[in-house]
Amino acid sequence: MEFTDDQMLRYSRHIILPEVGGKGQARIAGAKVCIIGAGGLGCPVGYYLTAAGVGTIALIDNDTVELSNLQRQIAHSVHTIGMPKVESASLTFKALNPEVNIIGIQERLTKDNILDLIRDYDIVVDGSDNFPTRYLVNDACFMAKKPLVSGAILRFEGQVTTIVSGDGPCYRCLFEEPPPPGLVPSCQEAGVLGVLPGVIGGLQATEVLKLILGKGDVLKGELLIYNALKTTFRKVRVPKNPHCPLCGEAPTITELIDYNEGYCSL
């Protein structure tokens, strides 16, 4: 890849790194990443991947911006309240780096559209805020053989793991089925510290860049748990479950499932 003078300046701190260099920056520019959710996690993930020069970034979200989002969803603003989140975030990311191709998809993910929507992308990032979507994304990424960087946040605690289809555990090896509706409170009910998604989203963006570069160790087979109140990071090893209903030896889940009943919508 030949860099223009502007690209050389913009990405100089990457190019200087031995693990990145011009070749790594060219890989970043050639990468296509799909981010599920343009909320607390999707905003910082998309923001940093845009800054890093990821060539194509898709954002999937069906919501519009509300004032109550602005405590943590840093790509939106008072000027974009009422606007679709994917449009609001696209404007912000374009202003940061006009070279990046941002594709906003204002749709609700279902078992019928997810495989089409993620097909063209190298890596999927889950920044959704509900269990039906989390399991749908896990199952679809396993079936489509897409690496998935999964993140979740609640109150003062967040988790990150990287799932590489066919190599190590999937999300269902960790938690086989979604919890029953109402058992686990949502951010809406339980609250979330506004900066927590910044930490977890930053970790997710880092995992994405390492997957693109093929450098370092990703959180494969490991769940990283961050506690913001205690300022602790805990890494928990997650073994592959041979009886996993999705990726185990005798899978019972062979098609996508919409677990919508009883859950509040995204």
Rule CB under 8 A: which residues touch another protein? Answer: 3, 8-9, 12-13, 15-16, 18, 21-23
User: Closest separation between CB of residue 215 and another protein, Å?
Assistant: 13
Q: Which lies closer to another protein via its Cβ, residue 1 or residue 184?
A: 1
DSSP tag of 69: G
How far is 178 from 190, CA to CA, in rounded Å? 18
Q: Which lies closer to another protein via its Cβ, residue 11 or residue 171?
A: 11
Q: Which lies closer to another protein via its Cβ, residue 30 or residue 251?
A: 30
User: Closest separation between CB of residue 206 and another protein, Å?
Assistant: 22
User: Closest separation between CB of residue 184 and another protein, Å?
Assistant: 47
User: Closest separation between CB of residue 100 and another protein, Å?
Assistant: 21
∠ CA 66-196-94, nearest 5°, is: 55
Residue 232 has phi, psi (to 5 degrees) of: -125, 145
Q: Which lies closer to another protein via its Cβ, residue 27 or residue 76?
A: 27
Q: Which lies closer to another protein via its Cβ, residue 182 or residue 214?
A: 214
Q: Cα–Cα distances in Å, from 100 out to 10, 94, 187? A: 13, 7, 31
User: Closest separation between CB of residue 44 and another protein, Å?
Assistant: 26
Residue keyed to tokens 């090896």: 173
User: Closest separation between CB of residue 73 and another protein, Å?
Assistant: 34
Residue 63 has phi, psi (to 5 degrees) of: -90, 165
How far is 165 from 143, CA to CA, in rounded Å? 8
Helix (H) or strand (E) holding 157: strand 157-163
Q: Which lies closer to another protein via its Cβ, residue 23 or residue 234?
A: 23
Alpha helices in the chain (DSSP H): 5-10, 12-15, 21-30, 42-52, 85-96, 114-118, 131-144, 171-174, 187-190, 196-213
